[in-house]
Amino acid sequence: MIPASFDYVAPTTVEEALAALAQYGDEAKIIAGGQSLLPVLRMRLNAPEWVIDLGRIDSLKGVRDEGDSILVGAMTRHCDVATDPLVAEHAALVARATATVADEQVRHRGTFGGALAHADPAGDLGAPALALDAEFVIAGPAGERVVPGAEFFQGLFETAVSEDELLIGVRIPKHTGWTAHYEKFVRVAHQWPICAVGATLKVSGGVIEGAAIGLTNMGSTPLRAAGVEQALVGQHATEEVVRSAAALAADGADPPSDLNGDADYRRHLVTVLTRRAITKALGG
Amino acid sequence: MTAVDARPEQATEIGRDRRRKEDARLITGRTRWTDNINLPGMLHLAMVRSPFAHARITGIDTSAAEESEGVVTVLAAKDFDESLGVCINAWPITPDQKTPAHPPVAVDRVTFAGEIVAVVAARSAAAARDAAEMVEVDYEELPAVVSLEEAVKDEVLAHPDLGTNKSALWVFDSAQAGTGGNVDEAIASAKSDGIVIERTYRQQRLIPAFMEPRSVVCDPTGEQITVWSATQIPHILRFAFAATTGVPESKIRVIAPDVGGGFGGKLQQTPEEMIVFAIARRLGKPVKYTETRSESLLAAHHGRDQIQKLTLSATRDGQVTGLKVELDANLGAYVAIVGGGVPVLGAFMFNAIYKFPAYQFNCQTVFTNTTWTDAYRGAGRPEATYAIERLMDELAAEVGVDPLEIREKNWITHEEFPFTTIAGLTYDSGNYEAATANAKEMFGYDELRAEQQQRRADNDPVQLGIGISTFTEMCGLAPSRVLGSLDYGAGGWEHAQVRLTPTGKVEVITGASAHGQGHETAFSQIVADRLGVAFEDVEVLHGDTQIAAKGYDTYGSRSLVVGGEALVRAADKVLEKAKPIAAHLLEASVDDMEFTGGRWTVRGTDQGMSIGELSTAVFAAHNLPDGVEANLDSEATFDPENFNFPHGTHLCAMEVDTETGQVKMRKYVCCDDIGNIINPLIVAGQVHGGLVQGIAQALWEDAVYDDAGTLVSGSFVDYLLPTAADTISFDIDHTTSPATTNTLGTKGVGEAGTIASTPAVVNAIVDALRPLGVHDVTMPCTPERVWRAINEGSAGGETTGAAAAHFDPSTGMSGNVDRTEGDVQ
């Protein structure tokens, strides 16, 4: 498991990183936590000339309070996101989902931005980010731009980040007081989810005032179960409401068929997991 | 006075849960694994492997690779002569077995994806790997036969020149053998007035997945050519080098240094070993090859892969009357060293602990264009145990009684030992009633059955199932005469030597080469008790043909029951040699000497000498009796007269989520009878690890090929190995029916957990779902299969031959973040 040889550069600022990207372009790959890139290099599925390591850019690490939202730096490690008090208070679904990523070792290396930019539809963070209306902050030669989740995820392993750009952070509108649960379905603990559902809800006086439901590995990108959300909002949080809303979870989904399960099984599975995610988010 | 003299009279080491001597170095890695070995001027190899399952090689261009930096040479089959040797099949199961030649490097045709077509030798492993990607091989693809079901049709041939995919048909028939009646008559009779259960079970293909990938180093620069290999079988490997390369055996030294697991996966003479040996000799320099994990999954031998067609007949009240087994076993592309013999080892175990009056076993071994298969923990016996234990549950359901009751009705009772079975084996000892009673008690059997009833009554979405496996197995391979009668190409004895040093320490040499089992600890305990020396004063040496010159290595749960008995006999010879010397030094008559408390003493006096004192006296040799050699060292070779038959009762409770198909282990209890126990801690480790490996076959592991013959589960992303996070705490206990065929009364435990646990788990899942009309779930019992079994009435269907997309170069690397073009090779 020896990668092909490559040159390595470790900038300390975003500007330096962008300059390196501009210089090496097609020949380069960006490494954040390396949890997806390193296996690819070691299996020689890819052999870049240059690896640009973002690990020394301190400004990309940590979570900031920005008033109506929080900003999670792209290079914040999963273990730090999962235990961050701002994330716990204002984006509980992200905290829940991040705590389930792979295993302890991966969570101590892998990063929030790296995982989202990799855009594996089976990754655990895309669906929660999408459900929480996160905005993706992208830096490029012309400065920063902000892209909503629906535009960020463009396809299987494809995002709105273009060749000369970097994802530097993710801005998540505060969902203070929303309860959350991430229901992940795996065969062995360290596996990518066969399917997962993130649900976060705002309930007042027994009535669901807000609902955001994200689906993992049910298509080539993370998905939002808009039909389920609409069926919940304004309703009393009863078992029957939850059950009939969850039955809509597979609408518009296009899940894969692989050795962990065929598409029809996943379409069924997602309805069960959605019901359970909502029920658990409601405290059931 | 030495510390030895202070030891109490009784045996104190055997039965003690000593922590393993070898663990500190094994766990911290401060030891010498093969890949750690670096020699002056050493070259490194990388293999060029076929991406196609079946293809003609029409050209190999090595020119670019040869010019790559650090490359010494690039070799294809045409560049080797016959000194390369061949990979041997040591067990042709029938005289007319079809056995294609197995060259270490494919000559003009590749027969599975992963077969070696060329080799690069370079000054570093990285340079070799870089250059391997520059070797251009032209292939003309041929039709590939991948599945066992297709292969038996003989429409597409794995080896067209053989004219068939069928290698050998091996049959045992109790009527012909004179051990019992005619099975077809038994089945016909049951069809008119009884019960006939017909089932087809699949033993999926598994990958041994040992922790240390295979590695081999060869140093040809000394008078003896020295080979280090991460192998289970240094002695057999040395024989294979000599037998197939023309190098005299006396010029070859093979060392298996510390080896990180094998599970049968390193019971092999590999192409890679032959290639390293040949290239080192050719270049006159040390050479090393260490496989990558991907190569290990792809090209190290696989295990299992059988389809079992089973017919069991019984009376209406559930007394078994006959069992017929029609087995297709997938060999892969070649007949490996034991290859076709693995399913034949199962032939004697389908009848298990039950008193079948008629039995027939038919095993057809079959070629496919897949990785070759061979031994994997249990080797033939897990497959047999699975089949019979699943069938006994089906019979119980048919009769309408508890599955424990149907077993009790049919098993051999403890008064009936020794018992000669329908397969012709004589079980020496056992007590199935006692083990089962103990397991039931530990399990809380009746309470769990009550909970199961409650969940059924409540229509609970999570149903509870209870699975039973009352297994036995044959291990302690093996009586040489029996092996001979089965046309196996070697024997089954084991050798041991006990040496005394001048300072009174003991060196034990065993031919059973450990690869993680804990021989150093267990063997030290045996010798400490036998000779009355301290545990710490015993050093166990093994795995080097220069030190342990004779042996048959470690597999088939043989080390303790065969190698341990050889050791006992060698130690006893030491005592016998010491006796006249002690009498002479103590000025007593030999007839007055007795060995008690670790000392030779003069009966009726307090005079005595320890073995340590005697070995010092023998070293000086100043005062020995006339005609007595100055040497206490002794050796012994033990050939068992019979196999060894551990048994046990395993009980498993599984919760099955009927909405998702997800299964969850609730409780696992086992009571194994492995005779007397040398070290309970080591036994617990073997049982725990064995259970997890067997549970993994039931639930997780599956080597899946796509239709083209590409291994889809080619990494641990898609080949699901469990971790501690996926298991529960097991409750284990023992009953003790000592073996009567070795002095220590021990039985093998290395494979027991793996053999027993698989059917216990699947029986539990099926038991949970039986009221829903389910009577089988194909292994591995994935959530999808369980869900389909519930909803579609099938056993769950085929696994889709497609990997998850995480590392797919055509997708994973094409996005905007990962920009460079994916495919280098």
Q: Which of A26, A37, A45 to mutate to test the interface with B (most CBs of B within 10 A)?
A: A45
Buried b (16+ CB within 10 A) or exposed e, B102-137: bbbbbeebbbbbbbbbbbbbbeebbbbbbbbbbbeb
* B816 has a pLDDT exceeding 80: no
Taking phi over 0 as left and psi of -120 to 50 as alpha, with beta for the rest, B378 belongs to left
Q: Which of B819, B823, B824 to mutate to test the interface with A (most CBs of A within 10 A)?
A: B819
* B823 has a pLDDT exceeding 80: no
Q: Which residues of B touch A262 (CB under 8 A)?
A: 784, 800
User: Which chain B residue shows the shortest CA-CA distance from A262?
Assistant: B800
Identity of the residue in B802, B815, B825 whose CB atom sits nearest the CB atom of A157: B815
Q: Is B699 close to A119, i.e. CB distance below 8 A?
A: no
C-alpha separations of B453 from B397, B444, B643, B703, B765 in Å: 15, 15, 42, 37, 15
Residues 6+ apart with CB under 8 A from B403: B392, B393, B396, B397, B468, B763, B767
Distance of alpha carbon A284 from alpha carbon B661, whole angstroms = 21
Q: Which residues of A touch B291 (CB under 8 A)?
A: none
Least confident of A41-45, A110-114, A137-141, B353-357: A41-45
The string of pLDDT tens digits covering residues B340-357 is: 999 999 999 999 999 999
Domains along chain A with CATH numbers = 7-52 (3.30.43.10), 63-173 (3.30.465.10), 179-281 (3.30.390.50)
Mean pLDDT of chain B: 95
Q: How many Cβ pairs closer than 8 A exist between chain A and B?
A: 162
The string of pLDDT tens digits covering residues B9-65 is: 456 899 999 999 999 999 998 999 999 999 999 999 999 999 999 999 999 999 999
Q: Is residue B692 within 8 Å of B681, Cβ to Cβ?
A: no
Other CB atoms within a 10 A radius of the CB of residue B50 amount to: 23
User: Which chain A residue shows the shortest CA-CA distance from B787?
Assistant: A265
Q: Which residues of B touch A260 (CB under 8 A)?
A: 782, 784, 804
The confidence score (pLDDT) of residue B5 equals 43
User: Which chain A residue shows the shortest CA-CA distance from B291?
Assistant: A1
Mean pLDDT of chain A: 96
User: Which chain B residue shows the shortest CA-CA distance from A117?
Assistant: B817
Q: Which residues of B touch A46 (CB under 8 A)?
A: 809, 813, 818, 820, 822, 824
Distance of alpha carbon A213 from alpha carbon A193, whole angstroms = 16
Q: Is residue A216 within 8 Å of A240, Cβ to Cβ?
A: no
C-alpha separations of A158 from A41, A146, B75, B812, B816 in Å: 19, 17, 42, 9, 6
- The residue that leads in pLDDT, B144 or B1, is B144
DSSP summary character for residue B372: -
Phi, psi of B372 (to 5 degrees): -65, 150
The string of pLDDT tens digits covering residues B369-420 is: 999 999 999 999 999 999 999 999 999 999 999 999 999 999 999 999 999 9
Q: What percent of chain B has pLDDT over 90?
A: 94
* A50 has a pLDDT exceeding 60: yes
Cis peptide leading into residue B478 (ω within 30°)? yes
Other CB atoms within a 10 A radius of the CB of residue A272 amount to: 23
The confidence score (pLDDT) of residue A1 equals 73
Q: What is the DSSP string of B84-131?
A: G-----S--SSTT-------SS-SSEE-STT-EEEEEEESSHHHHHHH
Instruction: Name the minimum distance, in Å, from the CA of A117 to any CA of chain B.
Output: 6
Instruction: Name the minimum distance, in Å, from the CA of A176 to any CA of chain B.
Output: 32
Buried b (16+ CB within 10 A) or exposed e, A68-96: ebbbbbbbbbbbbbbebebbeebbbbbbb
pTM, two decimals, is 0.96
Q: Is A257 close to B822, i.e. CB distance below 8 A?
A: no
Average pLDDT on A160-178 reads: 97
The confidence score (pLDDT) of residue B3 equals 40
Q: Is A265 close to B813, i.e. CB distance below 8 A?
A: no
B598 pLDDT band, cuts 50/70/90, is confident
B577 pLDDT band, cuts 50/70/90, is very high
The string of pLDDT tens digits covering residues B211-231 is: 999 999 999 999 999 999 999
Residues 6+ apart with CB under 8 A from B638: B493, B494, B495, B496, B562, B563, B565, B566, B569
The string of pLDDT tens digits covering residues B679-733 is: 999 999 999 999 999 999 999 999 999 999 999 999 999 999 999 999 999 999 9
Instruction: Name the minimum distance, in Å, from the CA of A206 to any CA of chain B.
Output: 27
The string of pLDDT tens digits covering residues B518-528 is: 999 999 999 99
Q: What percent of chain A has pLDDT over 70?
A: 100
Residues 6+ apart with CB under 8 A from B199: B309, B310, B390, B391, B394, B776
Tokens of B251: 């010029």
User: Which chain B residue shows the shortest CA-CA distance from A42?
Assistant: B292
* B820 has a pLDDT exceeding 50: no
The string of pLDDT tens digits covering residues B424-466 is: 999 999 999 999 999 999 999 999 999 999 999 999 999 999 9
User: Which chain A residue shows the shortest CA-CA distance from B799?
Assistant: A259
Q: Is A156 close to B659, i.e. CB distance below 8 A?
A: no
The string of pLDDT tens digits covering residues B303-332 is: 999 999 999 999 999 999 999 999 999 999
Other CB atoms within a 10 A radius of the CB of residue B740 amount to: 12
Q: Is residue A196 within 8 Å of A182, Cβ to Cβ?
A: yes
Instruction: Name the minimum distance, in Å, from the CA of A119 to any CA of chain B.
Output: 8
Instruction: Name the minimum distance, in Å, from the CA of A48 to any CA of chain B.
Output: 6
The confidence score (pLDDT) of residue B8 equals 43
Q: Is A256 close to B820, i.e. CB distance below 8 A?
A: no
* B647 has a pLDDT exceeding 90: yes
Distance of alpha carbon B65 from alpha carbon B558, whole angstroms = 46
Domains along chain B with CATH numbers = 3-31+493-638 (3.30.365.10)
CA angle B605–B609–B613, rounded 5-degree value: 165
The confidence score (pLDDT) of residue B597 equals 82
Q: So what's the ipTM on this one?
A: 0.96
H or E stretch at B582: helix B565-585
User: Which chain A residue shows the shortest CA-CA distance from B290?
Assistant: A1
Instruction: Name the minimum distance, in Å, from the CA of B296 to any CA of chain A.
Output: 11
* Three-class SS state of B140: strand
Q: Is A162 close to B717, i.e. CB distance below 8 A?
A: no
Q: Is B126 close to A192, i.e. CB distance below 8 A?
A: no
User: Which chain A residue shows the shortest CA-CA distance from B658?
Assistant: A272
Q: Which of B781, B818, B824 to mutate to test the interface with A (most CBs of A within 10 A)?
A: B818
Q: Is B803 close to A187, i.e. CB distance below 8 A?
A: no
Distance of alpha carbon B248 from alpha carbon B378, whole angstroms = 34
* A90 has a pLDDT exceeding 70: yes
Average pLDDT on B532-556 reads: 96
* For helices B752-769 and B680-699, angle between their N-to-C axes, nearest 10 degrees: 40
Identity of the residue in B720, B804, B824 whose CB atom sits nearest the CB atom of A46: B824
* Three-class SS state of B680: helix
Average pLDDT on B568-575 reads: 98
User: Which chain B residue shows the shortest CA-CA distance from A219?
Assistant: B805
Which one, of B390, B105, B459, lies nearest residue B270 by Cα?
B105
Distance of alpha carbon B611 from alpha carbon B605, whole angstroms = 18
Instruction: Name the minimum distance, in Å, from the CA of B568 to any CA of chain A.
Output: 44
The confidence score (pLDDT) of residue B10 equals 54
Tokens of B205: 């293909």
The confidence score (pLDDT) of residue B11 equals 63
The string of pLDDT tens digits covering residues B463-507 is: 999 999 999 999 999 999 999 999 999 999 999 999 999 999 999
Q: Which of A187, A194, A262, A268 to mutate to test the interface with B (most CBs of B within 10 A)?
A: A187
Q: Which residues of A touch B207 (CB under 8 A)?
A: none
* A51 has a pLDDT exceeding 70: yes
Identity of the residue in A2, A25, A258 whose CB atom sits nearest the CB atom of B125: A2
* B814 has a pLDDT exceeding 60: no
* B813 has a pLDDT exceeding 50: no
Amino acid at B215: S
